[in-house]
Amino acid sequence: MTKVIAITGKGGTGKTAVAALLIRSLSKKGKFLLAVDADADTNLPETLGCENVKTIGDAKEYLQAEITKPKPEHPDMNKEAVLKSKIYEIIEEMPGYDLLVMGRPEGSGCYCYVNNLLRGIMDKLIANYDIVIIDAEAGLEHFSRKIIRDIDELIVVTDASRRGFRTAERIHELVDELDSNIGRIHVIANKVTDTNREKLVKLAEDLKLSMIGMIPLDPKIEEMDIKGIPLFQISDDSVAAVEIENIIKKLGL
């Protein structure tokens, strides 16, 4: 059975960093892995060290343009087959994992038809993998549009800010309203320091959020940021990579 893990949280808290660290570690363990960048402001590929990736957004726009033309050039085309072949073309095969980027938000108009096709294609695609890691955005757009239906583990990343926790709380509420199937929800506190550690534990307790890990503010990540080195290349002994291993164990992966 495929395990689908989605990562969400307030802007800038470290969603992409957590996704990249999970992908890095799980790919080393030999899992058959799909990484999905579901944030319109795509930056997972860069964090993983991939360049020039094509996006599902482009494939959707192509099909949407075809079906909304007053006189389609290919009226008899099998739309599902066209979208499927475009999506399989877009999948980037990286060493240890595959990468799929959702890309730009939809234009105006109704994308229900295209999204329905996409949902069926995504269901079949996801079933091919052991683990799917999704770098999502706080609004959980793709889940509310049910493009990705089932999530086993929803991880909400927060920093020490009250707003970060508020977002985590709101996501909890949002999940109840979503028509998606969401298994468990966890919180990861990120950029933890000796000064904010206790405050973070207390905030999580007050809000009744289950904390699955506390990733320290990592000087190696800060150094890599400054030098522009992809986080995927971080060493196993960095404090963030060590805590990610603990989180992977707790998730039973």
Chain residues that interact with ligand ATP, rule: CB under 6 A:
9, 11-17, 39, 190-191, 215, 217-218, 221-222, 225, 240
The three-state DSSP-derived secondary structure of 190-204 is EEECCCCHHHHHHHH
Stretch binding Mg ion (CB under 5 A), from 12-20, 125-133, 174-182, 240-248: 12-20
Q: Which does 236 bind (CB under 5 to 8 A by kind): Mg ion, ligand ATP, none?
A: none
Element (H, E) at 4: strand 3-9
Residue-by-residue DSSP string for 49-109: T--S---HHHHHHHHHHHHHSSS-S-TT--HHHHHHHHHHHH-EEETTEEEEE--SPP-SS
Q: How far is the CB of 50 from ligand ATP (least distance, A)?
A: 15
Of 37 and 64, which CB lies nearer to Mg ion in the complex structure?
A: 37
User: Whole-number minimum distance, CB 66 to ligand ATP, in Å?
Assistant: 31
Shortest reach from residue 135's CB to ligand ATP, in Å: 7
- β-partners of residue 33 are 131
Taking CB under 5 A as the rule, does residue 16 contact Mg ion? yes
Closer to ligand ATP by Cβ: residue 14 or 84 = 14
By beta-carbon proximity to ligand ATP, the closer residue of 131 and 240 is 240
Partners of 60 in beta bridges: none
CA atoms within 13 A on the CB side of 221: 20
> Which of 98, 97, 62, 58 has the alpha carbon at shortest distance from 79?
62
Q: If you search the block for the tokens 């999530």, which residue do you land on? A: 151
Position with the least CB separation from Mg ion: 16
Candidates 14-22, 52-60, 75-83, 170-178: pick the segment binding Mg ion (CB under 5 A): 14-22
- Give the C-alpha separation, 17 to 88, whole Å: 26
- Taking CB under 5 A as the criterion, which residues in 206-225 touch Mg ion? none
Q: Which is nearer to ligand ATP, 20 or 83 (CB)?
A: 20
Q: Identify which of residues 68 and 246 has a Cβ nearer to ligand ATP in the complex.
A: 246
- List of residues contacting Mg ion (CB under 5 A): 15-16
